[in-house]
Amino acid sequence: MTDSLISPVPELAPPRKAPQAVTDLVENIERTWQFARPYREEVEQEFYRLLFHLSPSAREFFPVSMQAENGRVVRALIRVLRLVHRPDDLVPVLRQLGRDHRKFELHPSHYEAVGTALLGSLKHCLGAVWTPEVERAWAEAYTLVARAMQDAAADAEADGVEPPYWTGTVSEHHRLSWDLALVRVELDQAMPYRAGQYVTVEVPQRPRLWRCLSPANAPRTDGSLEFHVRAVDGGWVSRAIVGHTQPGDVWKFGAPMGCLQVDRESRRPVLMIAGGTGIAPIQAIIDDLGRWVDNPETTLLYGARHWDDLYALDRLYSFSTSNPWLTVWPVVEDTSSTPDAEQATTAEAVTRWGPWTEHDILVSGPAAMIEATVTELLRVGVHPSQIRYDPFLTA
Ligand SMILES: Cc1cc2nc3c(=O)[nH]c(=O)nc-3n(C[C@H](O)[C@H](O)[C@H](O)COP(=O)(O)OP(=O)(O)OC[C@H]3O[C@@H](n4cnc5c(N)ncnc54)[C@H](O)[C@@H]3O)c2cc1C
Ligand code: HEM
């Protein structure tokens, strides 16, 4: 586990002025988390020990080897709780997360056990720092978050429209390069996602390990979803998908999540910035916009380490010739094999070109790329409210 996985997300929108009680709560959480941080592996171990002791049935949600889980849930929980001072950003995410968690068919006692295990594991590692005031702060934050998720799940249940999860069958799997696969899945039941959203996915080769993937196409009436999956070094799920997916495999999906979208009505120009497979949700949005002739002027800055990694470029160029509202600008970090290419990271490219002060901006890609690019956009004077990206609650 690396430290960056639990570092704060960049401060985007200035948070709505939080009431004093919330400020105190957050200060207590932040202060004690800084104490607990060096012991996070101990916190993680103690969390799972307590959770499975308090709720043996919760063990079934996790993989046989907890090594593969690698503390993801407890890290995600702490990350979410540290955002309670940003309700405008957090509440929509929690509502989506609550709907996503319906895939586990949780009982309220599971939420209680997770809360108790989290507080118990922090207390175990914090010793004298764990005062009644600190305990109250973590408990209140957890209660707020858990309630928002459970309410959203209950609302979805009451609507009776969405299943707790979706299934689909792989109809196509081919490699776009040695470490990248295109996978097409035919859903068994319509999924109401918006182009640009992502879903959590469970594949048969890696039971009970859920990963976020972004459909690369706008919703289709035939229910087909296209995914681009890159195998990462040491990756449990991505390597299994790229190396071992077969037509006929059944994939399971949680409810759609994410905030990437274009407001066509605003008529403001759009800047899209994509790195790696972060092009997938951007391609879905472009696919969706392609249904209209009249779209905002859109610039896509598409970056990768090497030219060959810009796997979607030909398709995007060909789309832009018949859709003049779209301009595609490729950038690569390493130009040794393509000296004519524009050399830059996406963060450098946004400062080289621009200004972007009139644009609605979408950023999509690996967490580090989003963080660097957003930081640079803010530095050159873009207002936080102009920028959209999905929060990295996990890694
Ligand atoms: C909102 C969102 C949308 C996503 N959409 C896609 C998508 O469309 N296509 C896709 O291929 N992936 C996508 N991802 C990434 C995906 O969810 C997984 O994180 C990724 O496939 C790695 O999972 P794994 O199980 O193979 O690796 P893990 O076993 O979880 O991790 C193994 C090692 O790889 C490192 N690692 C994890 N992810 C990355 C990464 N992206 N780059 C480099 N190192 C990494 C970890 O820190 C760890 O050291 C998305 C992630 C998010 C948050
Ligand atoms: C306030 C309560 C909770 C919050 C904020 C929360 C948050 C999250 C987040 C952000 C993820 C990551 C999504 C992903 O990348 O897969 C996640 C995954 C998960 N959560 Fe929760 N969760 C909560 C409650 C629970 C409960 C009660 C359980 C069950 C006991 C649970 C079990 C899981 C599991 C099994 C995963 C998938 C982990 C993986 O395979 O990577 N969560 N949760």
In order, the DSSP letters of 332-356 are ES--SS-TTSPB--HHHHHHHS---
Domain boundary pick from 159, 186, 210: 159
Q: Are residues 344 and 368 in the same domain?
A: yes
104 and 180 share one domain = no
Is 249 found in the same domain as 133?
no
Q: Are residues 142 and 290 in the same domain?
A: no
**Is 258 contained in some domain?**
no
The CATH number of residue 77's host domain is 1.10.490.10
Contact 199, 253 (CB under 8 A): yes
- Tell me the per-residue pLDDT of 340-388, one tens digit each, with 9 for 90 and over: 888 999 999 998 998 999 999 999 999 999 999 999 999 999 999 999 9
* Ligand 1 pocket test target in 232, 233, 242, 283 with most atoms within 8 Å of CB: 232
CA 8 – CA 365 distance, rounded (Å)? 17
Distance in Å, CA 101 to ligand 2 centroid: 7
What does the pLDDT read at residue 331?
Answer: 96
Cβ atoms of 270 and 325 within 8 Å: the answer is no
Question: Would residue 77 count as lying in a domain?
Answer: yes
Q: Are residues 237 and 279 in the same domain?
A: no
Query: Can you give the residue range of the structural domain that contains 312?
Result: 264-388
112 CA distance to ligand 2 middle (Å): 13
Shared domain for 299 and 316, answered yes or no, is yes
Mean pLDDT, the chain, integer? 91
Closest-CA residue, ligand 1 atom 37, reads 395
For residue 12, pLDDT beyond 60? no
Q: Are residues 22 and 47 in the same domain?
A: yes
Q: Does a structural domain hold residue 307?
A: yes
Pairwise pLDDT comparison (395 vs 214), residue with the higher score: 214
Nearest to 377 by CA among 358, 357, 392: 357
Assess whether 249 and 299 both reside in one domain.
no
Q: Where are the alpha helices (DSSP H) in 211-333?
A: 236-244, 279-289, 313-322
CATH number of the domain to which 217 belongs: 2.40.30.10
Q: Can you list the pairs that 353-357 forms with residues at least 24 positions away whose Cβ atoms lie under 8 Å?
A: 353/301, 353/329, 354/380, 355/380, 355/381, 356/271, 356/380, 356/382, 356/386, 357/381, 357/382, 357/383, 357/386
Our mutation pick for probing the ligand 1 site, out of 70, 211, 309, 369, counting the most ligand atoms within 8 A of Cβ, is: 211
Is residue 3 predicted with pLDDT exceeding 50?
no
Of 196, 222, 253, the residue at which a domain comes to its end is 253
**Residue 235 alpha carbon to ligand 1 centre in Å:** 7
Q: What is the pLDDT of residues 149-195, one digit of tens each?
A: 999 999 999 999 999 999 999 999 999 999 999 999 999 999 999 99
User: 72 CB less than 6 Å from ligand 1?
Assistant: no
**Closest ligand 2 atom, residue 76 Cα:** 10
Determine the 3-state secondary structure of 18 from DSSP: coil
What would the two tokens of residue 186 be?
Answer: 């035919």
Whether residue 212 has its Cβ less than 6 Å from ligand 1: yes
Domain assignment present for residue 338? The answer is yes
CA–CA separation, 363 vs 226, rounded Å? Answer: 20
Q: Is 316 helix (H, G, I), strand (E, B) or coil?
A: helix
Q: What is the DSSP letter of 14?
A: P
% of residues, the chain, pLDDT over 90: 81
Ligand found nearest the CA of 210: 2
Q: What are the pocket residues of ligand 2 if the criterion is a CB atom closer than 6 Å to any ligand atom?
A: 58, 61-62, 72-73, 76-77, 80, 97, 101, 104, 106, 110-111, 114, 145-146, 149, 200, 209-210, 212, 393-394
Confidence class of residue 118 from pLDDT cuts 50, 70 and 90?
very high
pLDDT grade for 1, boundaries at 50, 70 and 90? very low
Please say if the pLDDT value at position 2 is more than 80: no
Q: How many domains are contained in the chain?
A: 3
Residue 19 has a pLDDT of 59
d(CA 99, CA 72): 19
Q: Write phi, then psi, for 271 (nearest 5 degrees).
A: -115, 125
Residue 362: per-residue pLDDT:
98
d(CA 21, CA 23): 5
The domain boundary residue, chosen from 221, 253, 285: 253
Residue 166 structure tokens: 């979706």
Q: Mean pLDDT across the stretch 304-318? A: 96
- Give the pLDDT score at 11: 42
